[in-house]
């Protein structure tokens, strides 16, 4: 495929969770396999799942995953604005990888967002000047008419950067034709000029039964459908929103392979409020014979071989929640019985003795669960690092994203945290993606739990992730009109697209 310079595409959606992130990743992987130098971009991301780039910038994990799909190193340019919810009404604003303060939704949409448009466009222009193509991801729906005036992530950026827009709809939810039509019909004539067409996601069944509807949609809107992607399990990788994770069932619809040993290993993840970087447990779910589930009741910890207390954007609030639901007492009983508990980042802080927080919750001095010998003081400056080390005789890599500074006063050292008996704690996210360390850790857990579980000797999380990304690329290559997609990326939206009334309200 030829490489035009600075081509681009915006992948929008009829709703949140329509599949924009994975479609963007799939297009990136398809393009890079064709020899195109491609990068992902999302102007503004709202997510509690984030990642630290090599230069120490915090960006959404979805953009880091898309960069991996594109086989490029993720940078802050790819996600210049990251919003990390701290409540239903306010978020921490991370600009170019660094936190710049908390802001209410009203304050952000009331003026701050518009001020960031210049920064966002500069980042996109820099990427387009470096890469043959930039595949941008929108947010929510472009037809959120109440937010259009301040929009910098959907049609606001499409019009300013003259990007063709591909609208993705999740047909598994139903109502996809109405969603496609309504999305276009609620946009202004100027916005509609950039909406090139549609992509159906998560289709089950015989495509020939869908085709008459796609023809009708094209007759109604003057816009074609660029592909129908079939439903596939296990492709919800590095999702953006920990608030929407299901409390029931295993992670990412993952299918548990048969164990290598005689027993399976059960992992319960406490679904604490404002749960962040729940992607940490994906590497556990990838192990044959490991069953991972999210739980919110104390009795669900009883049969667990390992309990994980994950990261959170609200450490003190999560601590209160654990106490209110009886999970704190259940964790204390586990520790007393020598049954494994792992705390990661905010979960690590919760397991300590004392928390001094004048930054996140402004709650002041708060008692932790007292299961690990550490005191935590919240600093205004956020720690953003990519540490490398060793644990259980194996090399480990990770990344740190936290305001809490831990003073460890005892126990055995463990990934800059500590271990007491079978209670482990660390600030390191992503450590379980290090294969040798993960296997060694699971062997320890199985021994403490009395399970005849044996980690598979050949599970490579990195290889599994690459296989997933290749499956996304295959979906685009096999089920989308790739020639037409490339023309969009290279040349922009077709001219003469009809206006669909009524358009945006005045």
Rounded to the nearest 5 percent, the helix, strand and coil shares of the chain are 35, 30, 35
Of 352, 354, 428, 348, the closest CA to residue 391 belongs to 428
Quick one: pLDDT at residue 248? 38
Q: Let me know the angle formed at the C-alpha of 60 by 405 and 468, rounded to the nearest 5 degrees.
A: 120
Peptide bond into 502 cis (omega under 30): yes
**What residue ranges in 61-154 does DSSP mark as E strands?**
81-85, 90-95, 98-104, 133-137
Structural Rg of the chain based on CA atoms: 23
Quick one: pLDDT at residue 1? 40
Neighbours of 137 (CB within 10 A): 31
- In contact, 227 and 266? CB cutoff 8 Å: no
- The structure tokens listed for 291 are 């069953």
Quick one: pLDDT at residue 234? 66
Annotation marks residue 429 as catalytic: yes
- In contact, 189 and 503? CB cutoff 8 Å: yes
Entry pTM: 0.90
Quick one: pLDDT at residue 332? 96
Mean pLDDT by 10 residues, the chain (506 residues): 66 93 96 97 92 94 95 97 83 90 70 81 96 96 91 94 97 94 97 97 92 96 96 67 40 61 92 89 91 92 95 92 95 96 96 90 89 94 94 96 93 95 96 96 96 92 92 96 96 95 90
Task: State the catalytic residue, choosing from 402, 403, 427, 429.
Answer: 429
Quick one: pLDDT at residue 195? 98
Quick one: pLDDT at residue 239? 56
Give one word for 225, left, alpha or beta, with left for phi > 0 and alpha for psi -120 to 50.
Answer: beta
**Alpha helices, DSSP H, located in 169-278:** 176-185, 189-192, 207-221
Tell me which DSSP letter residue 132 carries. S
**Which residue matches tokens 């309504």?**
182
Of 318, 245, 314, 332, the closest CA to residue 280 belongs to 245
Q: 102 forms bridges with which residues in the sheet?
A: 92
Quick one: pLDDT at residue 6? 73
- In contact, 445 and 417? CB cutoff 8 Å: no
- The structure tokens listed for 413 are 């050292």
Quick one: pLDDT at residue 249? 38
Tell me which DSSP letter residue 399 carries. B
Say how far apart CA 430 and CA 278 lie, in whole Å: 10
Annotation marks residue 345 as catalytic: yes
Tell me which DSSP letter residue 194 carries. T
Task: State the catalytic residue, choosing from 28, 345, 427, 479.
Answer: 345
Say how far apart CA 132 and CA 421 lie, in whole Å: 53
Say how far apart CA 407 and CA 89 lie, in whole Å: 32
């Amino acid at each position: 495929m030829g490489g035009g310079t600075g081509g681009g595409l915006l992948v929008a959606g009829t709703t949140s969770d329509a599949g924009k992130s994975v479609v963007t990743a799939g297009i990136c992987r398809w393009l890079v396999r064709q020899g195109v130098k491609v990068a992902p971009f999302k102007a503004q991301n709202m997510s509690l799942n984030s990642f630290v780039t090599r230069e120490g910038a915090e960006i959404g994990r979805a953009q880091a995953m898309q960069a991996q799909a594109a086989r490029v190193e993720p940078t802050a340019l790819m996600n210049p604005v990251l919003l990390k919810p701290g409540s239903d009404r306010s978020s921490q604003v991370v600009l170019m990888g660094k936190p710049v303060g908390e802001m209410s939704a009203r304050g952000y949409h009331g003026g701050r967002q518009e001020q960031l448009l210049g920064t966002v466009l500069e980042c996109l222009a820099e990427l387009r000047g470096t890469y043959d193509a930039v595949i941008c991801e929108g947010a929510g729906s472009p037809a959120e008419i109440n937010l259009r005036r301040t929009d910098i992530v959907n049609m606001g950026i499409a019009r300013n950067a003259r990007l063709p827009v591909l609208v993705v709809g999740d047909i598994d939810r139903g109502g996809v034709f109405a969603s496609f039509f309504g999305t276009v019909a609620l946009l202004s004539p100027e916005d509609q000029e950039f909406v090139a067409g549609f992509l159906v996601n998560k289709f089950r069944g015989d495509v020939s039964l869908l085709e008459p509807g796609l023809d009708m949609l094209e007759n109604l809107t003057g816009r074609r459908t660029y592909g129908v992607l079939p439903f596939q399990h296990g492709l919800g990788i590095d999702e953006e929103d920990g608030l929407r994770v299901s409390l029931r069932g295993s992670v990412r619809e993952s299918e548990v392979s048969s164990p290598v040993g005689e027993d399976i290993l059960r992992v319960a993840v406490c679904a604490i409020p404002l749960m962040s970087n729940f992607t940490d447990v994906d590497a556990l779910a990838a192990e044959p014979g490991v069953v991972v589930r999210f739980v919110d009741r104390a009795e669900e910890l009883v049969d667990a071989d390992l309990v994980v207390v994950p990261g959170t954007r609200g450490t003190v609030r999560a601590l209160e929640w654990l106490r209110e639901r009886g999970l704190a007492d259940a964790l204390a009983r586990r520790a007393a019985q020598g049954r494994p508990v792992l705390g990661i980042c905010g979960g690590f802080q919760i397991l300590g003795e004392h928390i001094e927080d004048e930054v996140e919750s402004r709650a002041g001095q708060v008692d932790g669960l007292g299961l690990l010998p550490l005191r935590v003081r919240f600093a205004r400056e956020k720690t953003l690092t990519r540490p490398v080390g060793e644990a259980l005789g194996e090399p480990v890599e990770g990344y740190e994203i936290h305001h809490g500074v831990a003073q460890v006063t005892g126990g055995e050292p463990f990934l800059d945290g500590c271990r007491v008996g079978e209670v482990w704690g660390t600030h390191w996210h992503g450590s379980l993606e290090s294969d040798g360390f993960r296997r060694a850790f699971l062997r320890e857990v199985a021994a403490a739990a009395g399970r005849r579980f044996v980690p598979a000797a050949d599970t490579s999380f990195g290889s599994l992730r690459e296989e997933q990304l290749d499956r996304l690329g295959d979906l685009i290559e096999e089920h989308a009109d790739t020639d037409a997609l490339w023309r969009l990326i290279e040349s922009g939206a077709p001219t003469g697209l009809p206006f669909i009334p009524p358009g945006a309200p005045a």
